[in-house]
Amino acid sequence: MRSRLTVALGRTARALARLRGGGSGGTAFPGLVMERTDPGFLARTLERLPHGVVLVSGTNGKTTTTKMVVQLLRDQGLKVFTNRTGSNFVRGVLAALLTEVDAVGRLDADVAVLELDEAHAVHFVHAVQPRAALMLNVMRDQLDRFGEIDYTASLLRKAALATRDVVVVNADDPRLNGERFLDGLTARTAAFGVGPALRSVFLSDDDLRAEQAAMPDDDAPISRVSPADAASPCPPPRVRLVALNGNKATIEVDGAEHRVAFAIPGIHNVLNACAALTLALEVLGERADLPRLLTTLSEIRPAFGRGEVIALDGRPVQLALVKNPAGFRMSLMSAPTAQVGTVDRGRPGDAATAPAASPTPTGADAPSPADELIMVAINDEYADGRDMSWLWDVDFSSLKRTGVAVVTGVRAWDMALRLRYDEVPVGVVEPDLEAGLDALRERAAAEDRPMRVYTTYTAMLALRARLGRLTKVEEVMK
């Protein structure tokens, strides 16, 4: 009876929220109402699932990796519940449940795969014990909310300590692969990672800081933080990314190499795919069909706003979510403007050909009609993080040749100043997001060029809503 009342109350709250929002929104408020009025609803609903709850957390890649895990498990025959909108607080999970349960609160699913914010993962595990957890990485992010990076790692460790069966960690992240994180876990540990030739591409937070601190004219190699060694409690990676060549990757699974051509854009998403595959193999156990898993992985498309491509006036516009230095760096490296080269395997110690920044433009390096028009949209709302000083830790020199057509959002002028320091030409500075998108659209039409938008979270939601009024956009917030 109580669940029936909670569902009715939540759906009423959602209807009111959508009415006030003009027919959209309502992804968190109904969950907040449910959380306050019936704190036990979450546990009552999820603890009935035969395969339990799988948690995905970490600084970067949560939404995309969660989507990958969901698709992998579904294609292996499981009915999966997930919080697909990326609303990753506990109230977001409750709001997602509201769209899936029946009138009495029953959920027709075998397993739940949930993306959770690092801090809210701790609140979640107090209510529901996960069967499995995936810890992707620990990067500096939203310093105004999380403080320093070791605190973020401590939050993930609390979630790992509560996990029952298996915790999957990034073997190359020094805050996840060591005794400080793994000691005392009751669940078994599995890992994913990269081969030696790719460690200069997929940097840990400590590597990034060492790179930023190095003098530009210093020829000495940067000392990289080593992955887990033989004395570490972290096991060798079950899935390892050993080579990249465009959208084609060589992935080592349990010691055997497999070649996969990915549909999803972004070199960072290939590593996310390795993480998702590791988790799926652990959850499925002996039932796992590896060839089918690899086929599924190759076909996965981006999550909304995370490399998503939308057609506008017959031209593609790609939305690339950015929220911290590491994520912005990987998005820039994945773009055509970065002049990405082949990243091949090589022997340990050999130099790999990694994505390189574009040189300072000369007359021959002027933008061509085939180049994407770039827009950068920066907001500083709570969900973005108020502290935007992290933008000064990003190297924007790869944008010198093409320049940035439009800078928009609440912090447009701050972003334009940052680009000026890296000598990146800027066309229009327009703080209003809709006006900024209109300016980008107008120039793209005049020059017949594709578009790419680097955007923080709340700016992405606003731009996507605006695009939804101009063209066909997948609805995810139902």
**Which residues are known catalytic residues?**
387
First-last CA distance in the chain: 26
Residue 2: other Cβ atoms inside 10 A: 13
Distance CA 457, CA 368 (A): 30
Contacts of 283 (CB under 8 A, 6+ apart): 51, 54, 73, 111, 131, 132, 166
Tokens standing for 97? Answer: 């449940």
CB 462 within 8 Å of CB 326: no
> Which residue bears the tokens 């060839």?
291
